[in-house]
Amino acid sequence: MSFTVTNQRNGEQFDTRPGESILDAALRDNRIFPYGCRSGVCGACKCELVSGSVDYGDYEDFALSDDEKAAGKLLICQATPLEDVVIDADEVMTGQNIQIRMLPCRIGRMERLADDVMRLYLTLPKSQEFNFIPGQYIDLLMKDGQRRSFSIASQPQQVREDGLELHIRLVPGGQFTPRVFDGMKERDLLRLEGPFGTYFLQSDVDRPVIMVAGGTGFAPVKGLIEHAMDEDPNYSIHLFWGARDRKDLYLDSLASEWASRYQNFRYTPVLSESSSADWTGATGFAHEAVIAEYDDFSGHDVYASGPPVMVNAVRDHLSKRGMSIESFHFDSFDFAHQD
Ligand code: FES
């Protein structure tokens, strides 16, 4: 049966199809609520169920605890209504016409950025529009119907000429990424769906921004920074990029170049397992370097992308020092969907 979802926040309504999650129905209706993984892992789509009942679906406890559920929270990427429901959720206004599309694409170019990181440029059909906001991600569809999610590292205006840029980290034993490193070649045909996610710049230019990237969490951050600097080269951004070793900072020279080109851009690479004796930069985990540098985050917007453990550490530590949850934006990579 179809049910109606009403968002108490703005009074807007949309209908779900039988078995459809609230988020899928909203996206089909071109509405964007905050969301990330679409698989019940990141918790970005958590909001309040005001009335009505739902099937809560499958999710991880750390995305929605029993206490939160008892307090009336739900994950709209997993919840399917069992009757008409009222939710209370922020709707994200993008000011852009973003439609989720399924498209064929070809590998236009492959470039090895590190032993375990490949940069892919995907060529999209010339006759098809593909709009996205820097920081969003796409799903690559495998023949058996499985999907793998990857952040877009490029700007919309670069796609026609260069293709859609992805940074793919090798997950040994995985189903998709080993093929990228061994067997996949230029001109191979793939299928994608997207764009997805709400990890995009939502900050006022006047508020300084802290960005924290872990590993290939640099990919969406590259999209965000290039977009921000395109809008205003005086944007104040401090990027912390956490990696194991120096070779894992696979576009270190690009981040350093931003630091020399933009007056209000700072770059702090952070190594957790540095083996190079000549490394004089920050060591430890990325969030440790951030809190070593700043005492109070009440005046900052914070963006974090990378593994859930890093994103959670950033959220926990910075919120103890004044960061509000509304000014925290994150893209928590679920490696189960990236292997
Ligand atoms: S838990 Fe719903 S989008 Fe991640």
Looking at residue 1, what is its pLDDT? 86
- Whether 35 and 74 share a structural domain: yes
The 10s digit of each residue's pLDDT in 47-86 is: 999 999 999 999 999 899 999 999 999 999 999 999 999 9
Instruction: Identify which of 56, 77, 305, 332 to mutate to test ligand 1's pocket (most ligand atoms within 8 A of the CB).
Output: 77
Give the separation between CA 143 and CA 105, rounded to whole angstroms.
14
**Any domain includes 179:** yes
Domain containing 235 — which CATH number?
A: 3.40.50.80
- Whether 105 and 190 share a structural domain: yes
Looking at residue 203, what is its pLDDT? 75
Domain containing 64 — which CATH number?
A: 3.10.20.30
The residue-averaged pLDDT of 182-188 equals 93
Percent of the chain whose predicted confidence (pLDDT) is above 70: 97
The residue-averaged pLDDT of 161-189 equals 94
For residue 36, which atom of ligand 1 is closest to its CA? 3
The 10s digit of each residue's pLDDT in 228-280 is: 999 999 999 999 999 999 999 999 999 999 999 999 999 999 999 876 678 88
The residue-averaged pLDDT of 131-149 equals 92
The 10s digit of each residue's pLDDT in 93-116 is: 776 778 899 999 999 999 999 999
Residue 336 predicted with pLDDT over 60: no
Looking at residue 179, what is its pLDDT? 93
- Whether 214 and 332 share a structural domain: yes
- Whether 218 and 321 share a structural domain: yes
- Whether 217 and 315 share a structural domain: yes
* Enclosing domain of residue 303: 209-337
Residue 151 predicted with pLDDT over 60: yes
- Whether 260 and 305 share a structural domain: yes
- Whether 214 and 253 share a structural domain: yes
**Any domain includes 95:** no
**Any domain includes 93:** no
For residue 193, count CB atoms less than 10 angstroms from its CB and return exposed for 0-12, middle for 13-18, buried for 19 or more. Answer: middle
For residue 334, which atom of ligand 1 is closest to its CA? 4
- Whether 266 and 332 share a structural domain: yes
- Whether 58 and 135 share a structural domain: no
- Residue 182's contacts (CB-CB under 8 Å, 6 or more residues apart) are none
At residue 15 the predicted structure's pLDDT band, cuts being 50, 70 and 90, is very high
Looking at residue 338, what is its pLDDT? 65
Q: How far is the CA of 37 from the centre of ligand 1 (A)?
A: 5
Q: How far is the CA of 35 from the centre of ligand 1 (A)?
A: 5
Cβ of 237 below 6 Å from ligand 1: no
The residue out of 49, 67, 88 marking a domain boundary is 88
Q: How far is the CA of 233 from the centre of ligand 1 (A)?
A: 33
Domain containing 143 — which CATH number?
A: 2.40.30.10
**Any domain includes 201:** no
The 10s digit of each residue's pLDDT in 283-330 is: 999 999 999 999 999 999 999 999 999 999 999 999 999 999 999 999
State the total domains in the chain: 3
Across the chain, what does the average pLDDT equal? 93
Cβ of 35 below 6 Å from ligand 1: yes
pTM above 0.75, yes or no: yes
Looking at residue 334, what is its pLDDT? 67
